[in-house]
Amino acid sequence: MLNPNAPIPLYRQLADLLSACIRSGEYAPGSRIPSEHQLAAAHGLGRPTIRQAVDLLIRKGLLTRRRGSGTYVQEPQQEVDLFSLDGTSASFRKKGLAVETLLLAPIDLKNVAGTPENPFNGQSAYCFSRLTRVAGTPVLLEALYLHAALFDGIQRLDLEGRSLSAIAEEQYYLRPSGGKQSFRIAAADADQARHLQVAPHTPLLAVQRWLTFAQTPCGVFSELWCRTDQFVFTQTIGGTVYA
């Protein structure tokens, strides 16, 4: 029941009520909610108040308005955990999605320079980049740097389509003991836009990841650029997710 004497505005009360109906499944994903006229009659409110409540839930991503049809419960976006030595490809596979990971250049031992935030700056590291496609759509671009001593000889292994975490554990007996990530929004440069098939300057989720091993404070450093129009990228709180 809505309370007109409460300090919370009526449109917010109605938005909370509709949100509860969505969470409970009364309004299932993809279903149409009652019309503004029906909601106004059911709750004794004016249509401007109804419209305020609906607009709020549209901005929150819970509802979507279809012209000439009505207002529908938004289908939930796929969530993919970002915190993994395997990048996000293992998390995509856990969702049962068709994943294709392509190496964009052969892995090579290089001297890293000009990137102060990279822990391998001024040192040699194994470097490579890869592109992850889900159901044929490119969604993730990664640049990876591996500790030269820990991953000695990795350039001789076939990495195409393989899990980096599985290679690290099976070939090098390595498992990360921890790590950290930073997040920001970055505009796609020309190369990123070409690989991810987006327009130049499209906003991307840019992630930097440092993974710690018992043998070294940082064994893997990676930079990721993620399209967020296809998936919601998440991070598990309370422990390191390892895939």
Q: What is the pLDDT of residues 102-159, one digit of tens each?
A: 999 889 999 999 889 999 999 999 999 999 888 888 988 999 999 999 999 999 888 8
Find the helix or strand (DSSP H, E) in which 73 lies. strand 70-73
- Sign of the torsion angle spanned by Cα atoms 177, 167, 119, 233: negative
Q: What is the pLDDT of residues 179-199, one digit of tens each?
A: 888 899 999 999 999 999 999
Count CB atoms within 10 A of the CB of residue 113. 11
What is the distance between the alpha carbons of residues 176 and 242, in angstroms, rounded to a whole number?
A: 8
CA proximity to 129, closest of 159, 154, 149: 159
Q: How confident is the model at residue 162 (pLDDT cuts 50, 70, 90)?
A: confident
Q: Which fold has domain 10-73?
A: Arc Repressor Mutant, subunit A (1.10.10)
CB-side neighbour CA atoms (13 Å) of 207? 26
φ, ψ for residue 213, nearest 5 deg: -125, 160
Of all residues in the chain, what percent carry a pLDDT higher than 90?
A: 49
Domain ranges of the chain: 10-73, 78-234
Instruction: Choose the CATH number for 78-234 among 3.40.630.40, 3.40.1280.10, 3.40.1410.10, 3.40.50.1370.
Output: 3.40.1410.10
Count CB atoms within 10 A of the CB of residue 138. 18
56 has pLDDT over 80: yes
The pTM (predicted TM-score) of the whole model is 0.62
CA proximity to 240, closest of 78, 77, 86, 79: 86
The pLDDT, as a whole number, for residue 181 is 86
